[in-house]
């Protein structure tokens, strides 16, 4: 039995082959998540191959959830012998992984391969997620920003504009619900389930309260008073009756469907939802407006957090030139224009005013302004540790089993220990 296992191991190792011969066509493996609907990646890959004779691109699909993809990369990259390589060259990375992967030594430093200012055409928040320690480790590929969706028809009927602050939003909810007398119409729905989406909602609450998750010196929740204030606001939406209790178990899709089916006045969600509200035959078509997230007090609207993905190149790739060329091509304006024709939002600012694209997706110029003000989630190699340690504490506040002060103190303690010696 063990002999069989050994033999199997030998075959597996041998399968990875020796160095490629110079005259043989180079094959670059691209690991990416499937896109919804009409996947443009095969077309882009074919275009790249036409321009780079001698380079073949093999695409391999990643799992569907972000956690699954992360586990795939960690298992294949962490501790794998450099000589063997991970078996892929270009990889699609969630926006929050770049510093972690760079710090772990899994990514090729792209700085020398880029023209000066090459990232300037992307949104600042998207470019920020690609940099760590003063180097560029990945190329921004697609983009998402947290925004406020509102039922434009309902607001107009009651003579209201999109709310700029929490107080305005709460007043709008109370007024519309009192007048509409529809028990099924909820006020403001957002993502309160214990997962990454809750971290995004909490980050936005922290920013609205004038503080942040990480201080300039890396301290966790440096301003405890404002942090507790921000978390209290999340819980307050529920206790004040502005949000239904079920948001404490809701993710993006649950809230999107409730809002899209006309069962809520306001929704916090990502750019991507707009295409679905605007789809032919969708019940909300033509009735949905977008605005920046409400701020606190008189400070005005507040930034949304960013999402999306980037393209990185494996440090142990055997074909660095071809792999970098593929990543640059896929992140180019030309390729992003193709992507933007589908359901993806580009990271390149110019495309948001491209006439052909705007004709197809009329909300893009509005997105441009909202994206300019967006903020990335903390760019640190310890992001996942931060977020996953924070989530139970945030959830405890949203559900109402912990006071905001207690949760802030517990989160600070947890993270002080977890981050010890990591920086």
Partner 1 sequence: MTARERAERRAAIGFVAPAVVTLAALTAGPALWVFWLSLRQRVPVFGIDHFAGIAHYAFLATDPRFWSAFRVTAVFTVASVALELLLGLGLALALRGQRVGRRAALALLLLAWALPGVVTARLFEWLYHPAAGLVNVALGVALNWLGDPALALPALVLADVWRTMPFVALFCYARLLTIPAAVYEAAAVDGAGRAATFRFVTLPLLAPVLLVTLLFRTLDALRAFDLMFVLTGGGPAGLTETLTVYAYRSLFQTLRLGFGSAIGVIVFVLVMAVAAAYLSVLRRREAAA
Partner 2 sequence: MTSRRALVADVAVLVFLALYAVPFLWQVLTSFKPEAELLRVPPLWPTTLTLSHYEVVFTQSAMPRALLNSLGVGVLTTALACALGVPAAFALATLRVPAAGPLMLGVVASTAFPQIATVSPLYLVMRALGLRDTWAALVLADASFALPFVIWLMTRFMREIPRELSEAAALDGAGRWRTLLSVHLPLTAPGLASVALLTFLFAWNEFLFAFTFTATEASRTVPVALALFPGVFEVPWGDIAAASILASIPPVLIVVGLQRWLVRGLLAGALTE
The answer to whether 224 contacts partner 1 (rule: CB under 8 A) is no
Q: Which residues contact 281 (CB under 8 A, 6 or more apart)?
A: none
The answer to whether 9 contacts partner 2 (rule: CB under 8 A) is yes
The answer to whether 72 contacts partner 2 (rule: CB under 8 A) is yes
Q: Which residue of 384, 403, 405, 412 would you call a contact of partner 1, by CB under 8 A? A: 384
Return the one option of partner 2, partner 1, none that residue 356 interacts with (CB less than 5 to 8 A, by type).
none
Return the one option of partner 1, partner 2, none that residue 68 interacts with (CB less than 5 to 8 A, by type).
partner 2
Q: Which residues contact 151 (CB under 8 A, 6 or more apart)?
A: 259, 262, 264, 265, 266, 284, 287, 288, 289
Return the one option of partner 1, partner 2, none that residue 105 interacts with (CB less than 5 to 8 A, by type).
partner 1
**Helix or strand (DSSP H, E) at 61:** strand 55-61
Q: Number of residues in contact with partner 2, rule: CB under 8 A?
A: 22
Distances (CA, A) of 319 to 56, 108, 150, 326: 11, 11, 48, 11
**Candidate ranges 7-15, 227-235, 355-363, 389-397; the one touching partner 1 (CB under 8 A):** 389-397
The answer to whether 68 contacts partner 2 (rule: CB under 8 A) is yes
Q: Which residues contact 269 (CB under 8 A, 6 or more apart)?
A: 146, 147, 149, 191, 252, 255, 256, 259
Structure tokens at 195: 């997962």
> Any idea what DSSP says for residue 114?
S
Q: How many residues would you count in the chain? A: 423
The answer to whether 385 contacts partner 1 (rule: CB under 8 A) is yes
Q: Which of residues 194 and 336 has its CB atom nearest to partner 1 in the complex? A: 194
Helices (H), 61-133: 66-77, 98-103, 124-128
Give the DSSP per-residue string, 336-401: HHHHHTTTPPBSBGGGGG-HHHHHHSTTHHHHHHHHHT-BPSP--TTHHHHHHHHHHHHHHHHHTS
The angle subtended at Cα 303 by Cα 302 and Cα 305, nearest 5°, is 140
The answer to whether 38 contacts partner 2 (rule: CB under 8 A) is no
Return the one option of partner 1, partner 2, none that residue 384 interacts with (CB less than 5 to 8 A, by type).
partner 1
The answer to whether 167 contacts partner 2 (rule: CB under 8 A) is no
Could you say which residues in the range 254-283 bind partner 2, by CB under 8 A? 257
Q: Which of residues 7 and 46 has its CB atom nearest to partner 2 in the complex? A: 7
Burial 14-50 (b: 16+ CB within 10 A, else e): eeeeeeeeeeeebebbbbbbeeeeeebbeebbeebbe
Q: How far is the CB of 193 from partner 1 (least distance, A)?
A: 7
What is the sign of the dihedral through the CA atoms of 333, 93, 389 and 266? positive
Q: Which residue of 388, 403, 405, 412 would you call a contact of partner 1, by CB under 8 A? A: 388
Return the one option of partner 1, partner 2, none that residue 337 interacts with (CB less than 5 to 8 A, by type).
none
Q: How far is the CB of 41 from partner 2 (least distance, A)?
A: 16
Could you say which residues in the range 192-211 bind partner 1, by CB under 8 A? 193-194
Q: Which of residues 110 and 382 has its CB atom nearest to partner 1 in the complex? A: 382
**Positions in the binding site for partner 1 (CB under 8 A):** 71, 74, 78-79, 100, 103-105, 193-194, 245-246, 248-249, 381-382, 384-385, 388, 392, 395-396, 398-402, 410, 413-414, 417-418, 421-422
**Positions in the binding site for partner 2 (CB under 8 A):** 1, 5, 8-9, 12-13, 36, 63-65, 68, 71-72, 75-76, 78-81, 84, 253, 257
């Amino acid at each position: 039995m063990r002999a069989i296992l050994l033999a199997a191991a030998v075959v597996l190792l041998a399968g990875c082959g020796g160095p490629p011969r110079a005259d043989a066509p180079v094959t670059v493996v691209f690991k990416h998540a499937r896109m919804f609907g009409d996947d443009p990646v095969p077309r882009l890959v074919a275009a790249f191959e036409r321009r780079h004779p001698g380079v073949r691109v093999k695409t391999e699909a990643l799992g569907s959830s972000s956690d699954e993809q992360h586990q795939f990369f960690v298992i294949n990259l962490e501790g794998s012998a450099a000589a063997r390589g991970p078996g892929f060259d270009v990889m699609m990375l969630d926006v929050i992984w770049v510093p972690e992967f760079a710090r772990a030594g899994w990514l090729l430093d792209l700085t020398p391969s880029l023209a000066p200012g090459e990232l300037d055409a992307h949104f600042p928040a998207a470019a920020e997620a690609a940099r760590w320690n003063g180097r560029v480790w990945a190329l921004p590929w697609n983009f998402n920003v947290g925004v406020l969706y509102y039922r434009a028809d309902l607001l107009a009927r009651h003579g209201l504009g999109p709310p700029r602050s929490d107080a305005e939003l709460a007043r709008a909810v109370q007024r519309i619900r009192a007048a509409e007398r529809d028990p099924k119409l909820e006020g403001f729905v957002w993502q309160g389930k214990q997962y990454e989406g809750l971290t995004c909602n909490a980050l936005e609450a922290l920013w609205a309260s004038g503080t942040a998750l990480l201080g300039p010196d890396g301290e966790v929740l440096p301003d405890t008073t404002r942090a507790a204030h921000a978390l209290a606001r999340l819980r307050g939406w529920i206790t004040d009756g502005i949000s239904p209790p079920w948001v404490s178990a809701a993710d993006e899709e649950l809230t999107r469907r409730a809002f899209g089916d006309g069962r809520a006045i306001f929704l916090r969600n990502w750019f991507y939802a707009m295409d679905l509200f605007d789809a032919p035959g969708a019940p909300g078509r033509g009735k949905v407006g977008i605005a920046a997230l409400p701020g606190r007090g008189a400070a005005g609207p507040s930034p949304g957090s960013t999402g999306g993905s980037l393209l990185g190149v494996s440090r142990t790739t055997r074909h660095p030139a071809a792999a970098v060329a593929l990543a640059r091509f896929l992140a180019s304006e030309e390729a992003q224009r193709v992507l933007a024709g589908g359901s993806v939002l580009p990271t390149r600012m110019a495309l948001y005013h491209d006439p052909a694209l705007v004709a197809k997706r009329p909300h893009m110029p509005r997105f441009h302004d909202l994206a300019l003000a967006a903020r990335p989630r903390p760019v640190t190699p310890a992001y996942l540790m931060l977020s996953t340690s924070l989530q139970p504490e945030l959830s405890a506040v949203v559900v109402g089993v912990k006071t905001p002060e207690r949760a802030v103190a517990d989160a600070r303690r947890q993270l002080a220990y977890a981050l010890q010696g990591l920086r």
